[in-house]
Amino acid sequence: MAQGRSGPVRRGAVLALAAALTLAACSPVYRSHGYAPVAEELAAIQPGRDTKATVQARIGRPGATGVVGDDAWYYVASTVEHFAYREPKVVDRRVVAISFDDAGVVRDVRQYGIEDGRVIDLVTRTTPTYGKELTVIQQLLGNLLNFDGRSLLQN
């Protein structure tokens, strides 16, 4: 009789394992990208006193700097949620912006979150090119018929 029960128990275990694997496959995966210093590290940076060298020693080099010059350092950390077949979604973003004056002394330390971000529409215009638009066959035949054997002999 014990053998009669092992079949349903085994089948139940297999079904439970399949259900657990299915549910595990549906759970989101979170990935962290970048680095932004925590509040305790930022509290140690004093505007008007710290320099680029002391900031670098305390929290490291930034992930990005200002476009014109090196007067702003940006530390960016993002958490991205990957869920099954859906497009990845940024669920958290922290940006720390440290600005410096001309002497390299800290002027300001600011923190931004994902709620401070905004979506920017990209311009999708294209620059027109003038001339004939050739098909692939026209391009191939044009290149074959444009062959000059003398250029091979000159080398």
Q: What is the pLDDT of residue 149?
A: 61
Q: Answer whether CATH 3.30.1450 is correct for domain 30-127.
A: yes
Q: What is the pLDDT of residue 1?
A: 47
pLDDT band at 43 (very low <50, low <70, confident <90, very high): very high
Between the alpha carbon of residue 29 and those of residues 79, 81, 90, the distances in Å are 10, 6, 12
